[in-house]
Structure 1
Amino acid sequence: MADRITIAVQNLDLTRTLDRAVRRVKDTRGLMAHVGAAVEMNINLRLINKRDPDGAAWAPLAPSTIARKLKKGQTTRILEATGLMQQSLGYSAGQDWVEVGVSEPYGIYHETGTRRMPRRGFLFADHEAGQLGRDDQEEVELAIAEYLAGSLAGW
């Protein structure tokens, strides 16, 4: 017969810990804000680094676009003529939702591309399916795991 080890746990208020965890899991506004901030940061980095959500470099500007920008005295860096789109990047979060994006109306043309302009996506890996890129998906999963672990902190 195997020997037994007995561990006595004292001063463990299991009910209070579980009640706190349930309250925290029911109020997910903090989680949604954390997800929004993390994805916003990733998008901002993509706009700076000129890469799509899968890490691929954006298509270069057409020679005609470069010539037009130079004639106007503008930078030839993609999406930096005014900086308004990057400045309009933000997120909103609620109890069970989060929205991340840009408020400049021309952002959609860069995300989806047009007949005359290649797609230079920054929001979705697959914009038609609304699929996040790998880094964004990992950020969301990590935020959820940290949030749930935090709900039981002090256990």
Structure 2
Amino acid sequence: MIEIEVNIDIVKAGLTRLARLGEDMSPLTRDLAEVLKGGVDRAFADEEDPATGEKWRPLSPATLARRAKAGHTGAILQVSGQLAASIQTEHGPHFAAVGTNKVYAGTHQRGAKKGSFGQAKRGTRGAGRRNARNYTARGGATVGGWLSGRARGGSMPLPWGDIPARPFLGIGKPEEAEIEESVRRAVRSALEGA
């Protein structure tokens, strides 16, 4: 009779480390959050949807004229650079995410039809104030001087024109490849004990 003795301690140790990785994937999710942030950075740099690679719709002639009058010559969605600079990463034991605290980000991500946020009604901002122009949108939200002169006659739609979607959040082929490689590295490291 032939006896073969197999020492599976190495395999058991690797599987134990792999199970621990499954309980707290923070080292991996930190990498994944950075990959997601890289996709957003690429979207702003290339002015394209990170998931599809489709170029963002160009700015309307009215927007180009308003920007030129104000001296803004920057890229789409980057007049002030605040939106691109506001992108933050977050990760934990079982998640990786990117996002922004800018309330207007969703409008740029998904777009909006003219009037989809209601109507702006002419209001007042402080009695006796000279040239005080404020408008109150449906629901009581106040919209300041950037509407000055646009709502003659009492009200106007918000937004006053269609805003095309310009997605900057998403996962494209480059991110998919990086995510796959990061997961492989993490699993390999856990199994090998590196």
Same fold by TM-score greater than 0.5: yes
CA distance in 2, matches of 1:136, 1:111: 18
| Structure 2 counterpart of 1:26 | 23
SS at match of 1:43: helix
Native 8 Å contact 2:33 2:91 kept in 1: yes
Name the structure with the higher helix share: 1
What is the root-mean-square deviation of aligned Cα atoms in Å? 2.3
Counterpart-to-counterpart distance in 2, 1:101 and 1:89: 5
Where has structure 1 moved over 4 Å in runs of 4 or more?
A: 12-15
Q: Which residue does 1:56 correspond to in 2?
A: 54
Distance 1:91 1:52 in 2: 19
Q: Does 1:152 align with 2:152?
A: no
Per-residue Cα deviation, 1:22-54 (whole angstroms, up to 9, x for no partner):
323322011111111111011111111101021
**Which runs of structure 2 are paired with 1:11-90 in the superposition (5 Å)?**
13-53=10-50, 54-90=52-88
Identity %: 27
Name which one, 1 or 2, has greater alpha-carbon Rg.
2
Structure 2 runs not aligned, ≥5 long: 1-5, 114-161
Gaps of 5+ in 1: 1-8, 125-131
Does residue 134 (structure 1) correspond to residue 182 (structure 2)? The answer is: no
One-letter code aligned to 2:77: L
Higher strand proportion:
2
Answer with 72-81 or 20-29: which moved more.
20-29
Q: What is the TM-score normalised by the length of structure 2?
A: 0.64
Kindly tell me the number of residue pairs found equivalent between the two proteins. Answer: 140
Contact 1:25–1:148 under 8 Å retained in 2? no
**Residues 15/84 of structure 1: CA separation in 2 closer, same or farther (3 Å cut):** same
